[in-house]
């Protein structure tokens, strides 16, 4: 099987999953966080090099304060439960997005994890936090303009994106059946295969990930070299 080097996921449907069982939305978010561990471990076992997850968008600040506050506590919950295992598996933690406006305590937890895992050689697990793709492209354009005199090239933009140095994204997965990119990695998804499933994120398990990769393989077989 051909394993995508870089997979990106929009982890949608936590609220809908909770509602379906008469539980509060935050319970769905907690289950979603636990599932991040499951999918990261599976991706690492399969030999995926980079997994980029949309954890919090620039739009998510519009949610009720109570929900935003809970979401901001999840990185700490995640590391408390799973850091030992992630270290054992050699997972490296990184983030993309503007962390400047992330609450100090949350930022500190993430920065500690990044430092602790910086030398790990397994899967690179990238969390997109306070991330928006248009803002990322504008930022890259401004950085490029400051570096270049004359015409800005695609390479000048590329090199200033948060994702500079990562392999191209081969496969993007969105759970919970919305057919939108929602301002996620617009530049980087130019040539990616896009996979949509009706499964809610907390139910998107290792088997579901394998199914998505099998679908990706069939696409590659059918279209490889022809486009």
Q: Is 60 a catalytic residue?
A: yes
Using rule CB under 6 A, residue 58 touches ligand V07 = no
State which of residues 48, 51, 52, 56 lies at the interface with ligand V07 (CB under 6 A): 56
Using rule CB under 6 A, residue 15 touches ligand V07 = no
Q: Tell me whether residue 55 or residue 169 sits nearer to ligand V07 (CB atom).
A: 55
Q: Tell me whether residue 115 or residue 134 sits nearer to ligand V07 (CB atom).
A: 115
* Residue 45 contacts residue 39 (beta carbons within 8 Å): no
Please give the distance of CA 154 from its chain centroid, rounded to a whole number: 23
The residue from 38, 44, 60, 112 that is catalytic is: 60
Q: Is 12 a catalytic residue?
A: yes
* Residue 81 contacts residue 34 (beta carbons within 8 Å): yes
* Residue 169 contacts residue 189 (beta carbons within 8 Å): yes
Q: Helix, strand, coil proportions of the chain in percent (round to 5)? A: 50, 15, 35
DSSP line for 90-101: T-EEEEES-GGG
Using rule CB under 6 A, residue 201 touches ligand V07 = yes
* Residue 134 contacts residue 188 (beta carbons within 8 Å): no
State which of residues 25, 29, 42, 174 lies at the interface with ligand V07 (CB under 6 A): 29
Please give the distance of CA 171 from its chain centroid, rounded to a whole number: 12
Using rule CB under 6 A, residue 14 touches ligand V07 = yes
CB of 49 to ligand V07, least distance (A): 18
Write out the catalytic residue numbers.
Answer: 12, 60
- Contact residues toward ligand V07 (CB under 6 A) are 11, 14, 29, 32-33, 36, 55-56, 71, 74-75, 78, 93, 110, 113, 127, 129, 201
């Amino acid at each position: 099987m051909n394993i995508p080097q870089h997979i990106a996921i929009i982890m949608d449907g936590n609220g809908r999953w909770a509602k379906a069982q008469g539980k509060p939305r935050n319970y769905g978010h907690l289950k979603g966080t636990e599932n991040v561990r499951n999918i990261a471990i599976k991706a690492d076992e399969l030999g995926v090099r980079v997994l980029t997850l949309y954890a919090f968008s620039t739009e998510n600040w519009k949610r009720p304060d109570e929900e935003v506050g809970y979401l901001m506590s999840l990185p700490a919950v995640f590391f408390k439960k799973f850091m030992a295992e992630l270290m054992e598996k050699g997972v490296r933690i990184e983030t993309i997005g503007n962390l400047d406006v992330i609450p100090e305590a949350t930022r500190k937890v993430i920065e500690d994890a990044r430092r602790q895992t910086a030398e790990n050689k397994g899967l690179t697990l990238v969390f997109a936090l306070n991330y928006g793709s248009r803002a990322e492209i504008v930022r890259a354009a401004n950085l490029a303009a400051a570096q270049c005199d004359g015409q800005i090239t695609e390479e000048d933009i590329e090199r200033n994106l948060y994702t500079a140095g990562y392999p191209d994204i081969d496969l993007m997965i969105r759970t919970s059946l919305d057919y939108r990119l929602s301002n996620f990695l617009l530049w980087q998804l130019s040539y990616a295969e896009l996979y949509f499933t009706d499964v809610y994120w907390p139910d998107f398990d290792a088997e579901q990930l394998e199914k998505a990769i099998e679908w990706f393989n069939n696409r590659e077989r059918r279209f490889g070299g022809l486009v």
